[in-house]
Chains A and B, each alone.
Chain A
Amino acid sequence: MIKLEHVVKAYGEQEVLKDISFEIAKGELVVLIGPSGCGKSTLLRLINRMIELSGGRILIKDRDTRTLDPVSLRLGIGYVIQSIGLFSHMTIFENVEVVPSLLQQNKKLRRERARELLDMMGLEPAQYGQRYPKELSGGQQQRVGIARAIAADPEIMLMDEPFSAVDPITREQLQDHFLGLKTQIDKTIVFVTHDVDEAVKLGDRICILNQGLVQQIDSPKALLHKPANDFVASFLGEDRELKRLSRIPVTDVMRSGAHPEARTIEKHKSAKDALNRLLAGENSLNVIDDQNSIIGTVNLQDLQG
């Protein structure tokens, strides 16, 4: 869907991106991660041509973006900017309807769609729709920002640290919400963050950037298990095995059978959750499904494999 070939971006003398090549498949969510100032936002803005390439090329659906009209290119790409950027003179409804109105969609339909989206983002449309951005909390504004980017149903979404302006608890809620949403909407997403946990939780693949180069691009599990170099290893942190467990469902590590007297854990929890409880003193845990019937059991030895 998106293909980067030897992408270079320089500001004057300073080469921010030196040689970036990778490909993103349709429906995939790739997380860009790296230290602050490594060029993550720059890479996103190159994709929708908010800024121009210094070298290399970017293909979207096999067409060189430089041959496309930048305005219509951007109309087809949802973009959530790092600083939210809601239009302060428009109501929440008007903000969500911006792109549909640029595409001159029917007024009734787009209001309908805006309601649907706000609802989906967990904001009561009747309550918030007619408010102005300053009357919303930071977290609520970020949700509106996401709704605005999805409104015209673009195939591609660029999301620049969309959950950065909120406290850890709200952030977790938003992430869970987003994971649920991702299964409903089939979109190709480039997602920027500098939070490793968030990357591991959300990404199909993670791309680690540093010093203008891709250090490693791989699935979260593979990345955490086999960091390509010292930078990646230290960036992911000493606890990367723990992080890896958070992406493994507990059903992947359980044995068949059941342990008498053991407490239970729901099947959609991660191996990390199980480890937490085992370390807290349980000998083993029985995994249960939605009907509360036991489908397997897990103990500390199982997690070491």
Chain B
Amino acid sequence: MRRQGLLLLAAWLGSFWLFAQQSGWKHALSYVASKNQTPIFERNTLWELVWQHLNLCLFSMLLVMIIGLPLALFVTRSYGKPFLGLVSNTVNIGQIFPPTAVLFLFLPIFGFGPTAAIIALFIYGLLPTVRGGLLGLSTIPEDQSNAALGCGMNAWQILWRLEFPQALPSILAGLRTSLILIIATATVAPLVGTGGLGVPIIAGLSTNNVALVLEGALPVALIAVLADMTVRWLEQVLVRWA
């Protein structure tokens, strides 16, 4: 598991090194570009595009965690119980909404620009995380919560020593789904007025320029796969007991 972690770290560092090789990309992509087309996106370097993309995703993800986990916690406490049905129902219906459609639903409300994109990414990313949190926190084995109570744990100790660790696998699975969805949906977000790796893809698709499309598609695919593997690795490390 340690070795897997080191490999992942190396893969991340390697990818970032790769993203920094602007002239290398230009050279490589010029093989697929047709003669009179630019082989590489010129307004931003690839490095900048990657950072824009990651910023967008990580900021929305941060919001998802800050709002989503406390929300799941709130509705599974005794004082939040009345709202449990509402939240789980909304989350279940919301998951049927296609993420890209949601992205564009927020466009008329917040107008073009990063705000609409971040809010849409955040709201859609919220769904899997809240769902995972609800699932984990509401399926604590009854014998264990009885034992915790019988041991003399107070509500706070039960939360930290029993419920949170027991819910961790579902929470992490939810976060992973959210992250992957956000990374993928953020690729379409340039249509709503943001930067990121979707910019060259969309530009390339509309001008029939394969090189530009690949300049965006390859890095974003790499980032998505690495992010997925990283969270999976985290799940293994943190949940040794399952």
Contact = CB atoms under 8 A, between A and B. Distances in A.
A–B touch (CB < 8 A): the answer is: yes
A88 interface: yes
A81 B141 CA distance: 13
Given A87-B148, A102-B157, 6 more contacts: A73-B152, A84-B147, A87-B147, A88-B242, A89-B239, A158-B150
Contact of B143 (A76, A79, A83, A99): A83
B58 interface: no
A242 interface: no
Interface string A89-130: 110000000110010000000000000000000000000000
Given A88-B241, A89-B165, A81 B152 contact: no
A137 interface: no
Contact of A85 (B146, B153, B166, B240): B146
B149 A88 contact: no
B36 interface: no
B144 interface: yes
Interface in B43-92: none
B144 A79 contact: no
Interface in B196-242: 239-242
A270 to B, nearest CB: 34
Contact of A50 (B141, B149, B154, B242): B149
Contacts, number: 66
Contacts of A148: 151
A50 B150 contact: yes
Interface size class of B (residues with CB under 8 A): 20 to 34
B147 A88 contact: no
Interface of B: 141, 143-144, 146-154, 157, 161-162, 165-166, 168, 239-242
Interface of A: 48, 50, 71-77, 79, 81, 83-90, 98-99, 102, 132, 134, 148, 158
A88 B144 contact: yes
B241 A89 contact: yes
B150 A72 contact: no
Contacts of B157: 102
Nearest to A103: B152
A79 B153 contact: no
B165 A81 contact: no
B146 A74 contact: no
A102 B153 contact: yes
A246 B149 CA distance: 38
A74 B162 contact: no
Contacts of A75: 151-152
